[in-house]
Amino acid sequence: MKKAFLIGWKDLTLAFRDRAALIFMLAAPFALTLGMGLVTGRFSGNTGSTGVGDIPIVIIDQDGGQLAQTLVEVLQSEELSDLLEPSLGDDLAAAQAAIEADEIAAALVIPAGFTDSIIPHDGQTAPSETVQLALYSNPTRPTSVGVVRTILDGFLSQVEVNRVGAEVIITRLIATGRLQPQEAAGFAQTLAVENAAAGGQPSAISLNSVTASGEEVEFDILAILAPGMALMFLMFTASNGGRSLLIERNHGTLPRLLVSPTGTAQVLAGKTIGIYLTGVAQMLILILGTTLLFQVQWGNMAGVLLLVLASVFGAVGWGLFITAIARTPGQVAAVGSALMLTFGILGGTFINTNNMPAWYRWLTRITPNAWGVDGFTTLALGGRLADILEPLLALVVMGLVLFGVAMLLFNRRGLTQK
């Protein structure tokens, strides 16, 4: 394994000494991100357009209580009208069918007892057992679902903050003798209703949302553009890394490696590690750079790191697959460039794929870009690690499958055969 890491480290060193590669790996995505930011008005303070909008959702209110009504009002508010396209319904089966038919992005069910579980009944100071909201998601529209989930998270966080705040106030009032214990229940209900109404103010919940931990998240158009660019040029790094295997074969360094006491598996593992390390370094530099230069908020750092690792894994799978089917470095370069642009377009680097037809959105799923953009967008919108499990899993599976196929092809043809 030591030799594999040495080969990988050597490839990382060579990649960062190649000026032409550096232009594609780092300069181009920075420049394009900057350009897209200028076009979208990011640098002139206009953050109105997020590229995500008119998300169709169905709300089924089975509760009818104060808090449920507030939530419905929030989702139908003017402030969210560009983002959401909510409609009220009462048939869960019909809503599920609409999701199945890809007519809506999600269905929100507010179950009976939701308000009562948070706002105490008469004679109670503590809420009854919590009743959870149910969000039925359309798996082909993860970004849209992520937006809806973030808005709901924000609403619930606000409600929770108010509930805890009310408890503290009542406890303090009783402790100081300003409120009699027998008056507490009535006071609590009044406070909860007022808080719920205040919490439901659209100004309190918007895309400038609040994470579960209470941290405010400023949504930024560059948080979608920057990952899109980074992921597109990650495909260049992956295919260029694969191409280096064929270049080494032509330049004689691969045969030389294979006549040293280094096994074929070690050489292949080393080349894979090299591409992987280069891709991870590229992504981290771009993330750090856009954070420092453009103040892009990428979101949960652990999630970002895991998503980088998974995205690079998926991209490396593609790089190795292209290399395994190509005969010459030129073929890898040509196919790699075509794939980089195609995946960039499909994956949402240039256009919002959420408003595209279902078959198109299904097609985007073969690209690491689409999964990566979904994950990064979710995180930028305040999503947590648990919210990006699906893209993480998809990217890892994609990488594993492509890596396996590439190894079979290399094994069949031999590393030194053209």
Contacts of residues 387-394 at CB distance under 8 Å and 24 or more positions apart, as own/partner, are 387/146, 387/149, 387/303, 388/303, 388/306, 388/307, 390/139, 390/142, 391/142, 391/307, 391/310, 392/306, 392/307, 392/310, 394/314, 394/365
Q: Binding of other proteins at residue 251 (CB under 8 A)? A: yes
Among 121, 172, 256, 413, interactor with other proteins by CB under 8 A = 256
- Of the two residues 12 and 205, which places its CB atom closer to other proteins in the complex? 12
Stretch that binds other proteins, among 10-18, 49-57, 68-76, 146-154 (CB under 8 A): 10-18
Query: From the CB of residue 208, how many other CB atoms can be counted at a distance below 10 Å?
Result: 14
List the 84-89 sheet strands across, edge first.
84-89, 55-61, 106-110, 134-137
Among 6, 204, 345, 409, interactor with other proteins by CB under 8 A = 6
Among 87, 190, 253, 411, interactor with other proteins by CB under 8 A = 253
Site string for other proteins, 342-381 (x = CB under 8 A): ----------------------------------------
Among 49, 180, 260, 295, interactor with other proteins by CB under 8 A = 260
Q: Binding of other proteins at residue 264 (CB under 8 A)? A: no
Contacts of 240 (CB under 8 A, 6+ apart): 15, 21, 24, 319, 333, 336
Q: Binding of other proteins at residue 255 (CB under 8 A)? A: yes
- Of the two residues 13 and 128, which places its CB atom closer to other proteins in the complex? 13
Q: How many residues does the chain have?
A: 418
Among 78, 93, 252, 412, interactor with other proteins by CB under 8 A = 252
Rounded to whole angstroms, the Cα distance separating 45 from 381 reads 18
3-state secondary structure (DSSP) of residue 264: helix
Among 48, 177, 181, 261, interactor with other proteins by CB under 8 A = 261
DSSP line for 280-310? HHHHHHHHHHHHHHH------HHHHHHHHHH
Among 20, 259, 292, 386, interactor with other proteins by CB under 8 A = 259
Among 263, 330, 357, 404, interactor with other proteins by CB under 8 A = 263
Residues that bind other proteins (CB under 8 A): 3, 6, 10, 13-14, 17-18, 251-253, 255-263, 416
